[in-house]
Chain A
Amino acid sequence: MPGTTDAFISLTGATKSFNGITVLKNVDFDVRPGEVHALLGENGAGKSTLIKIISGLYTPDGGTIRIQGETVSFSSTRDASKRGIATVYQELLLFPELTIAENIFLGAYPKSNWGGIDWDTVRERSRALLDSLDSAELDVDTKVARLSVAQRQRVEIAKALSRDARVLIMDEPTASLAEADVQRLMDVVRALRARGVAIIYVSHRMPEIFALADRVTVLRDGALIGTKEIGEVTEASLVAMMVGRSIDQLFPKPEPIIGDVLLEVEGLRCGRLVRDMTFSVRRGEILGIAGLVGSGRTETALTLFGITPAEAGTIRIDGKTVTIRSPKEARDLGIAYVPEDRGQQGLVKAMTIRQNVSMATIDRLSRGLFIRFADEAARAVEAVKRFGIRARGGIEQPVGQLSGGNQQKVVIAKWLETAPRILILDEPTRGVDVGAKSEIHAIIGELARTGVAIVMISSELPEVLGMSDRVLVMNNGHLVTILDRAEATAESVGAAMTVAKNRKDAA
C-alpha cells in the first residue's frame, strides 16, 4: 500500500534554467515503490522539466537525485534507464515498421549461444509481458503501425517492464485515449502499482487523479506548491493550488465592445474531426473553443484557414459567402491564424525578427518589385516595442534564439501586420512563461476591443473561461454546446468536454 516504504527515488532542491530563464526552482519530489504519485500544474509550470530530469534527459543545474538513498547523477536517459527509470511519453516512441516483439526488446535483445538475437526468447518474453498487462489480444508479430494509440501505449509499458522498470513516468497517458481505453489503462496502472512499481502520473484530468493517485504534487511557475496525500485535497483545492490566484485576477478582461456578426460557419466539415460545425463570431468578440486533445479544435481552425480546405459547408464573412482553399486565400480575406506549434508552423527560426514579422505582408512592403527595407525595419521595430519582444540583438536577432514567449509574440506580430478582421489563436500561451502569458492576454483583449473577431483555442480551462465572451465546446469532431460567459464555468465546460463523449461513444 502507498507510503509504507521509503522513497525509491527522491529529488531535493532540483533547479533548472534555460537561457537565463529559471523553469524549475528548488523543487523537492519523491516517489515510493507501489505508489502512484500524480504531478499537476498548468502548462509551463515545470512538470515536463521535472520528469525530464528524472528520466535523465536534462541534467539539473542544482539539487541532488537519490535512488534508495544513494546520490546519483544521470548524464543520459541510458543512465537513468539502467537505474530502473522508464518513461511512457505523450508522443509514443515506437518504430511503426517493426513488430511488437521487436519494439519491446529493441536495443536490449537477448542473445543466443552464437551471439545472434534469440528470437524465440524475444517472442516468448514479449508474450508473457503482454499477458501480464492483460493484453492477450495483441499478437507479438503484428507491426506496430497497425495498432491503435491505446495498444501502442501498452507496448510502451511492456517495453518499460522488459527493462525491469522500478519507476514508470507516464506523461498525460490518457490525453488521446477514448473513455473505454482510459478505464483499461487505469486497470493496468493499478496492476503495476500492486507489483511494487513506483509510478509518476502526469495528468490534467481530475477524475483520474482521484481514482488513481496516492499522493499529488502541484507545481506552479517552476516552484513546488505542495505535496499532499490524496485524502487531504479536493478538486477545488487542487485547482486553487495550480492557479494560485482566482481567475478574475488572472485574466483582467477589459469590457468588450461587441458588434455585428462577422464570421458565420454553417455545416463545416472536413475529415473525421470537423463534423457539421455551425457557429458565428461577432466583431470584438472572443469565442473560446474548449475540448480535449483530439476533439477537433485545431482541425476546425486549419479548415477555416484553408490549410485543410472544407469538404462541405458554408463560410460567410460579413454576410458574403466565401471559399477558402489555401492559407493565401484566407489571408487575403482578412483571416489570420496563429498556430498551435509555433516552431513548426509559425516561424522560420533561422530568419530574423524583421524577416519573420514581414513574412505575411512582404508583397505589400514592396515598391515595384523591391522590398522597402526601411519600412520593413520600421514595422519590426514598432512590433518589438508594441509587444515588448525582448531580444538582445534587436530586430536582426534570429527568432530561434528568443524565448518561447517572445517567439509567440513574433508570430502574433506577423499576423497583426496583415491587419486581420478575424484572428484565430491556437493555444496562444502554450509553453510561454507566466509574465509573457499575461502580456499576450492583454494583447488579445486589446485587439478584440479594436473590433477584431477572435477565435481562441485553448487547453487551459482558466484561460478559456477568463478570456472568452462565449465558449464553444467540441468533442470528437462535433460541437457540443456554446455557452455564454455567465454560464461557462469549470464544471459546465468540463462536463460538456467529457460527458458528451460517453454519450457519443455509446450511440
Chain B
Amino acid sequence: MAFADHPTARRSERSLLHRLYSAYGQEAVILVAMVALFVIVGLINPRFLSPENLNTIFSGNAYIAVAAIGMAMIIITGHIDVSVGALIGVLATISGTLAVAGYPVWVAWLVPILVGMAVNALVGAMVAYARIPSIVVTLGMLSILRGGLISVTGGTWISNLPADFLIAQKRLFDIPVPLVAMVVLTLLAAAWMRYFPFGRSLYALGGNPEAAVATGIPAERRIVAVFVIHGFFAGLATILFATQLQVIQSTVPPNLELTIITASVIGGVSILGGSGTVIGSTLAAILFATIGSALIFTNVSAYWLRAVIGLLILATVLADMLRRRRTR
C-alpha cells in the first residue's frame, strides 16, 4: 500500500520484497521490471545501453513523465483529464510563436505555463462548481483546443527557433535538463502529496468524496486547485516538449493524452481514485519509453509497443480491482 508511510509499519518482520511491495506497491514492481529490461536487452544488444540511447529514452520522454505527475494528482482526486495532449499542443504553439516573434525566452517559457493554469482553472471550476463530470468537461475542452489549433495555424510548422529558447537540449552539471526537471519535479510532487495536508486531502476526496466533505475538506476549492496544478505541470511538460527539436509542429501530438493517462494508471494510480503515487507515474512513463526502445533494439516491430502497453493496462487495473475487493 502506498499509504504505509510511517516507520511503525515497517518494523514488523517481513521479507525485503514484501516490505518493498507493501510500502511502494506498483512502483517497486515497475522499477524491477525496468532494471530487468535494461539488463536483458543490454545483453542482447549492448548498443541499447549507449549514452545516446539512454538520453533518448530518458530525456526524450521526460515531458510525458512531467505531464503524468499532474495527471496522477487528477486521477488520485477521482477525476480525469483527456484534454491534456491537446493543451500541450496549443501551449507549444503559443510558446514557439512567442519565441520566433522575438519576445525574451523567459516570456516564451512562462506564458504557456500561465495559460495552461488558466485553462485548467476554468476546467476545474466547471467540474467543482457546475458539477459536470470531468470526462465531459475535458472532452469538450479537447475538441475546442484541437479544433481551434488547426483552424488558427493551418497545421504549419514553426521553425527558426532561437538557440537559447531550446532549453531541453541544454545540460545542467552535464546532465540533460529534461532529466533534471523530471527527477526534481517528481520528487517535489511526491513530497507534496505525501507530507502535506493538501496531498492527503486529495487522497481522501478520491477515496470517498462524501466522507471527505463531511469531514470538512473544502472539495470545490481542492478540485480547482488540483486542476490548476495539473495545468502547471502541463505547461512545464510543454516547455520540455517544444524545445527538444528545432521545429514545433503546430498540431496535437496523436494519443498524447492516452499515453499520459496510461503512465499514471500503470504507475499504480487507481483509475477509481484514492490511491497511487506520482513516483509510480514517472517510472511508468520511462518504462514505456524503455519498452519502445527495447523493441527496436531487439528487432521487434515497434508496432508491438501499443499492444504491450495495452496488456500492461489491463493487468494493472485487474490487480487494482483485486486489491480493492480485499479492502472492501
Contacts and interface: CB of A to CB of B under 8 A. Distances in A.
Contact of A351 (B195, B203, B218): B203
A369 B192 CA distance: 9
A307 B219 CA distance: 12
Contact of B204 (A348, A363, A365, A371): A348
B328 A346 contact: no
A344 interface: yes
Contacts of A354: 6
Interface in A346-382: 346-352, 354-355, 359-360, 362-363, 365-366, 369-371, 373, 376-377
B280 to A, nearest CB: 16
A302 to B, nearest CB: 9
Interface in A6-24: none
Contacts of A439: none
Interface stretch (B49-57, B89-97, B207-215): B207-215
Nearest to A355: B3
B61 interface: no
B207 A351 contact: yes
A327 B196 contact: no
A386 interface: no
A219 B328 CA distance: 27
A403 to B, nearest CB: 13
B188 interface: no
Given A351-B3, A351-B207, A307 B214 contact: yes
B275 interface: yes
A366 B210 CA distance: 23
Interface string A163-205: 0000000000000000000000000000000000000000000
B254 interface: no
Interface stretch (A53-61, A110-118, A310-318, A390-398): A390-398
Looking at A328, A350, A351, A360, the one whose CB has the most chain B CB atoms below 10 A away is A350
Given A328-B216, A401-B327, A395 B207 contact: no
A395 to B, nearest CB: 7
Interface string B215-239: 1111000000000000000000000
Given A362-B201, A370-B195, A401-B326, A347 B6 contact: no
B4 interface: yes
Q: Which interface class (under 10, 10 to 19, 20 to 34, 35 or more) fits B? A: 20 to 34
A428 interface: no
A33 interface: no
Q: Is the interface of B mostly helix, strand, loop or mixed?
A: helix
A345 B274 contact: no
Interface in B295-327: 324, 326-327
Nearest to B218: A328
Contacts of A348: 203-204, 207-208, 211-212, 274
Contact of B196 (A349, A351, A371, A376): A371
A339 B6 CA distance: 28
B324 A344 contact: no
Q: Which interface class (under 10, 10 to 19, 20 to 34, 35 or more) fits A? A: 35 or more
B9 interface: yes
A74 interface: no
B229 to A, nearest CB: 14
Contacts of B197: 362-363, 365-366, 369, 371
B214 A327 contact: yes
A360 B54 CA distance: 46
B200 interface: yes
B196 A366 contact: yes
A330 B213 CA distance: 12
A326 interface: yes
Nearest to B205: A348
A400 interface: yes
B271 to A, nearest CB: 13
Nearest to B323: A350
Contacts of B204: 348, 351, 355, 359
A377 B214 contact: no
Contacts of B200: 355, 359, 362, 371
A327 B213 contact: yes
Contacts of A29: none
Given A350-B327, A351-B203, A371-B195, A345 B6 contact: no
Nearest to A393: B9
A346 B204 CA distance: 11
A297 interface: no
B39 interface: no
A384 to B, nearest CB: 12
A347 B216 contact: no
Contacts of A352: 1, 3-4
Contacts of B8: 377, 394-396
A345 B3 contact: no
A414 B217 CA distance: 14
10 contacts: A332-B216, A347-B208, A348-B208, A349-B327, A359-B204, A369-B198, A371-B196, A377-B6, A398-B327, A400-B327
Given A348-B203, A373-B5, 16 more contacts: A305-B214, A327-B216, A337-B214, A339-B214, A348-B212, A349-B208, A349-B327, A351-B203, A351-B204, A355-B200, A355-B204, A362-B200, A371-B200, A394-B8, A396-B3, A398-B3
Interface of B: 1, 3-6, 8-9, 195-198, 200-201, 203-204, 207-208, 210-218, 274-275, 324, 326-328
